[in-house]
Copies of this chain bind each other. A is one copy, B any other.
Amino acid sequence: MSTEAEFLANYDAGDFERPSVAVDLALLSVFDDAVHAVLYQRDRHPAAGRWALPGTFVGIQESLDATATRILRERAKIEGVYLEQLYSFGGLGRDPRTRVITVAYYALVDRARCPDLGFHRLDIPWPGETGGPVDALDAQGAPLPLAFDHADILGMAIKRIRGKLDYTPIGFQLLPERFTLRALQTVHETILARPLNKDSFRRRMLASAQLEATGEREDSARHRPAELYRFARRSAV
């Protein structure tokens, strides 16, 4: 067996046991002063009745990114949104059926783009980027029992975007194409769960050169209308 081609022709993948690999998606949006995630109530075992992130097994000829994109397309009917790999969860007792390793992704969407999805309010019990599990609440504010380790996945997603927000304008992804600075600040404040200084927030955002004034103004409430901005892709100098 000398060449790699010969090696591969004779390669026997063997019959050692392999884990199943899935992708679970934390599909997040921000509205009503809270971070929300899409959850589905499971109608079959295991964890029947509990609430779960949209997920699916990875096809044998499908990349991880493609699997995450497929969840977005098939379950949420959207594409072109912010999507990033989060973390892989491979504990032994995650799924009582069999060994399942999940590669978690998270996506950020403007809720107006997908009004039919079942978003549920998240209750984040820790400050800053402390981390820890995050539960979801029903419309009455009662905790929804989550399936598997999905509270940990949601917690990791919140921790990640809180960290990113400090140096990345990730909040754009949660708003429509045109938005006011006030709306952007509200998104940041909701995710970080703390008030931000209005003046320095404005200055930072405008100084970042990632915002582009449209010249248009919001069709206002009962006060002076704010200018609408748009995300400016980092121009190639």
Contacts and interface: CB of A to CB of B under 8 A. Distances in A.
Interface of A: 1, 4, 7-8, 11, 13, 16-21, 44-48, 57-58, 60-65, 85, 87-92, 96-99, 101, 103
Given A11-B97, A18-B18, 11 more contacts: A1-B45, A4-B47, A13-B98, A18-B19, A19-B21, A19-B58, A61-B92, A63-B90, A64-B88, A88-B103, A90-B103
A156 to B, nearest CB: 10
Contacts of A57: 16
A8 B61 contact: no
A150 B17 CA distance: 25
26 contacts: A1-B45, A4-B47, A4-B48, A4-B96, A8-B45, A8-B46, A13-B97, A13-B98, A16-B57, A16-B60, A17-B60, A18-B20, A18-B21, A19-B58, A19-B60, A21-B21, A21-B90, A61-B92, A61-B99, A63-B91, A63-B92, A64-B88, A64-B90, A64-B101, A65-B90, A90-B103
Contacts of A46: 4, 7-8
A94 to B, nearest CB: 9
Contact of A58 (B8, B13, B101): B101
A155 to B, nearest CB: 15
A103 B101 CA distance: 10
Contacts of A45: 1, 4, 7-8
B20 A97 contact: no
Nearest to A104: B88
Contacts of A87: 85
B4 A90 contact: no
Given A21-B18, A87-B85, A8 B97 contact: yes
